Structures are given as structure tokens and as C-alpha cells.
Amino acid sequence: MRLLIVEDEKRLAVSLARGLTAEGFAVDVVHDGREGLFRAGETPYDLVVLDIMLPGMNGYRVCAALRAAGNDVPILMLTAKDGEYDEAEGLDTGADDYLTKPFSYVVLLARIRALLRRRASAGTPSPVLVVGGLSLDTASRRVHRDGAEVTLTAKEFAVLEQLALRPDAVVSKAEMLEHVWDFAYDGDPNIVEVYISTLRRKLGAERIQTVRGAGYRLVAVGPAGEGTA
């Protein structure tokens, strides 16, 4: 599940990103309205958290522009209760829900889950990814390997999800860091290697191939035939 957070208060944005990442979401963060509009148009996010007061372009206009472009990604608006902006106005521009600052993290999480659930039952993309003998249910966050359930941590699941979204394609470490970790993560890329390592141990080493100098690739392995031949 990929989320985009558009919020210019850096501290708030980072803390939200951290919490949501720990929940297993792939979170990207931008601090500018124009940039948010661009990224939301580029990447198929599952949900956008959109602040109203933004440099570059305010939240209403970002929301309206997305809807005008035919993008129906769920949008959760964050409004400050200073009276200058009216909450209801956000809904008029096409937002799906709004939250008034200050809000508790738990409430935010619940709203996000609710929106995602609503969307899921409304029937957008199928929540189950199947690659060879491997299946991951993105709704229940469960992974099965040839019939047996494998328990993965949030980060492990997120890494695997990135691979499974495009089976057989090479996913670079940089992409991993962008989507699974914060999009401006500057830590050691080795961390990706560590997670690949544990995933191999849990899922079978042959399923994740290393493409030296390029990235990693999830291939179909199992009873139902080899990878894309």
C-alpha cells in the first residue's frame, strides 16, 4: 500500500511517515503542493494525505486539479481549525474525508484504514498478488509459500510487495529506499540487502535473484512452471 503525504510542516510529516511506515505502508513525503500534484499524477498511490496550507499550491487546488485530471485516488485532507479555511470546502473539491488539526495519530490511522477499506470493497485493484508458489494478500497482509503461511514483519512485507508488484522486473535498491523507506532516506543502502537476505531465508533463496549493479528480481518458482520463459 503506497501513501503520499503532502505536508509542509517537516516535523509533522516525518513523524507521520515514520509511524505509517512502521505500519507497513510505503510512504512518500513531499512538502510542496505543486510537487505533490506532480507525484500523485506520476505514481499510482493508494491514498493521498493532503494538507491545505501548502507552499506552491494550496491543498484545495491540488485536490481539484487531480480530480479534473480524472484521478480518483482517495484523498484525506488535513485542515487547521483556525477558521480561515472551511472544512467542508475540501469535500467540495473532491476530497474523500478530512481531519482537523490537531489530531491524534490513532485517529488518522483509523481514517486511512477506513478509506482504504471503502476503496477496496468498492473494488479497485485486486488485493492479491501471486507469483509462482508465492501469494501475498495485501489486505490481510499475509504471505503464503506453497501452502504454508510465512510471517513477515512490516518492512519485510513492504519490500516483498515492491518486488511482487512487478514480477520479474528488476527493482533497484534506490527504488526500494524511495518507496519502502522515506523517499528522502539517506541511510546505508545495505539495509535493503539485509532485508533481501531475510526474505530469501523465509521464502526460498531461488525466488529472489540478484542482478548485479541493477537490483533484485522476484521470479516465479514452484509447481506451476518457471519464470517468464
Binding stretches for its own copies (CB under 8 A): 64, 67-68, 70, 72, 88-89, 91-92, 94-98, 106-107, 109-111, 113-115, 117-118, 121-128, 130, 133, 135, 137, 139-142, 144, 146-147, 149, 153-155, 157, 166, 168-170, 211-214, 217, 223-225, 228
Cell triple for 28: 512518500
- Taking CB under 7 A as the criterion, the residue among 67, 101, 155, 202 binding DNA is 155
Using the rule CB under 7 A, is 202 a contact of DNA?
no
Q: Residues 103-132: x/- map of binding to DNA (CB under 7 A)?
A: ------------------------------
Backbone angles phi, psi at 130, to 5 degrees: -125, 125
User: Which whole-number Å values give the CA distances from 105 to 43, 48, 59, 149, in the listed order?
Assistant: 25, 16, 20, 31
Using the rule CB under 7 A, is 187 a contact of DNA?
yes
The residues pairing with 30 across neighbouring beta strands, listed in sequence order, are 6
Footprint on residues 16-45 left by DNA (CB under 7 A): 22
Using the rule CB under 7 A, is 193 a contact of DNA?
yes
Q: Which amino acid is at 164?
A: A
Distance, in Å, from the CA atom of 183 to the CA atom of 163, rounded to the nearest integer, reads 17
Distance, in Å, from the CA atom of 123 to the CA atom of 102, rounded to the nearest integer, reads 32
The answer to whether 219 touches 209, Cβ cutoff 8 Å, is yes
Mention every residue, 6+ apart, whose C-beta is less than 8 A from residue 24: 1, 141, 154, 155, 157, 158
Q: For residues 11 and 151, which CB has a smaller minimum distance to its own copies in the complex?
A: 151
At closest approach, how far in Å is the CB of 197 from its own copies?
Answer: 20
3-class state of residue 138 by DSSP: coil
Ranges of H-type helices in 43-172: 59-68, 87-92, 105-122, 154-165
Q: For residues 55 and 69, which CB has a smaller minimum distance to its own copies in the complex?
A: 69
At closest approach, how far in Å is the CB of 160 from its own copies?
Answer: 14
3-class state of residue 26 by DSSP: strand
Using the rule CB under 7 A, is 173 a contact of DNA?
yes
- Work out what residue 130 binds among its own copies, DNA, none; the CB cut-off runs from 5 to 8 Å by kind: its own copies
Distance, in Å, from the CA atom of 168 to the CA atom of 215, rounded to the nearest integer, reads 11
At closest approach, how far in Å is the CB of 27 from its own copies?
Answer: 19
Name the residues that contact DNA, by CB under 7 A: 22, 151, 153-156, 173, 181, 187-188, 190-191, 193-198, 200-201, 205, 210, 212-215
